[in-house]
Copies of this chain bind each other. A is one copy, B any other.
Amino acid sequence: MFDSLTIVGVGLISGSFSLGLKDRGLVKHVIGVSRTPASLEKALELGLIDEALPLEEAVKKSDLIYVAIPVDVTVPMVRKIMDMIGDGQIVADAGSTKQALCDSLADHPMRKNFVATHPMWGTEYSGPEAAVRNAFAGRACVICGKEDSDPAAVAKIEHIYRLLGMHMVYMNASDHDMHAAYISHISHITSFALANTVLEKEKEESAIFELAGGGFESTVRLAKSNPSMWLPIFMQNREHVLDVLNEHISQLRKFKSCLEKENYEYLQELMENANKIKKILR
Give 1 or 0 for each of A243-276: 1 = CB within 8 Å of chain B CB: 0111111011111100110101001101111111
Give 1 or 0 for each of A203-239: 1 = CB within 8 Å of chain B CB: 0010111111111111111111101101100110010
Stretch at the interface among A23-31, A58-66, A117-125: A117-125
Residues from chain B with Cβ under 8 Å of A280 in the complex: 202, 209, 212
A75→B224 CA distance, assembly (Å): 39
Interface centre among A140, A205, A251 (most CB of B within 10 A): A251
A189→B271 CA distance, assembly (Å): 9
Q: How large is the interface on A (under 10, 10 to 19, 20 to 34, 35 or more residues)?
A: 35 or more
* A162 at the binding interface (Cβ < 8 Å): no
Residues from chain B with Cβ under 8 Å of A4 in the complex: none
Write the nearest CB–CB distance from A209 to chain B, whole angstroms. 5
- Interchain CB contact under 8 A, A211 and B251: no
- Interchain CB contact under 8 A, B231 and A264: yes
Residues from chain B with Cβ under 8 Å of A194 in the complex: 186-187, 190, 248, 251
Residues from chain B with Cβ under 8 Å of A169 in the complex: 207, 210-211
- Interchain CB contact under 8 A, B281 and A264: no
* A104 at the binding interface (Cβ < 8 Å): no
* A107 at the binding interface (Cβ < 8 Å): no
- Interchain CB contact under 8 A, B253 and A195: no
A278→B215 CA distance, assembly (Å): 16
- Interchain CB contact under 8 A, A252 and B248: yes
- Interchain CB contact under 8 A, A219 and B216: no
Write the nearest CB–CB distance from A260 to chain B, whole angstroms. 7
Stretch at the interface among A8-16, A32-40, A44-52, A175-183: A175-183
Residues from chain B with Cβ under 8 Å of A200 in the complex: 247, 251
* A112 at the binding interface (Cβ < 8 Å): no
Q: What are 6 of the A-B contact pairs (CB < 8 Å)? A: A183-B213, A183-B216, A196-B251, A218-B219, A228-B268, A252-B252
Binding site for B on A (CB under 8 A): 120-124, 139-140, 142, 169, 171, 175, 178-180, 182-184, 186-202, 205, 207-225, 227-228, 230-231, 234-235, 238, 241-242, 244-249, 251-256, 259-260, 262, 264, 267-268, 270-278, 280-282
